[in-house]
């Protein structure tokens, strides 16, 4: 269950991940065929494309902040371009449960 929905301001690290997604030039079907919950691993984010489950057809990430309160965030395949180019500056985030 996803709780405490809120908006998370996109930082340079997440924007870089979105750019990697765009640069792959894969269709949503190609991402689904390569589904992996830990495709992207950076200092503060770990996640990937979720073809099935709570985030069907979206990219989902755990965010490890400097506080002990880990949270999850997600964005759609279609939103990756807007995140990468700065047109989208916030994504949905939820408490990690």
Computed over every residue of the chain, the mean pLDDT equals 86
What's the pLDDT tens digit per position in 25-35? Answer: 999 889 888 88
**What global pTM score does this model have?**
0.84
Sheet of 3-9: strands edge to edge?
3-9, 90-95, 71-76, 58-63, 45-50, 40-41
For the cut 90, the answer to whether the pLDDT of residue 4 exceeds it is no
**DSSP codes, 52-79:** SSTTTTEEEEEE--SSS--EEEEEETTH
Instruction: Please state the domain extents for the chain.
Output: 3-95
The angle formed by the CA atoms of residues 93, 36 and 25, to the nearest 5 degrees, is: 90
């Amino acid at each position: 269950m996803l709780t405490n929905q809120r908006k998370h301001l996109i930082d340079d690290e997440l924007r870089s991940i979105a750019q990697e997604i765009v640069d792959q030039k894969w269709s949503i079907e190609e991402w689904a065929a390569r589904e992996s919950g830990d495709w992207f691993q950076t200092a503060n984010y770990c996640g990937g494309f979720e073809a099935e489950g709570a985030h069907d057809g979206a990219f989902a990430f755990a965010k490890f902040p400097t506080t002990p309160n880990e949270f999850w965030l997600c964005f759609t395949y279609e939103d990756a371009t807007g995140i990468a180019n700065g047109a989208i500056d916030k994504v949905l985030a939820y408490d990690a449960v």
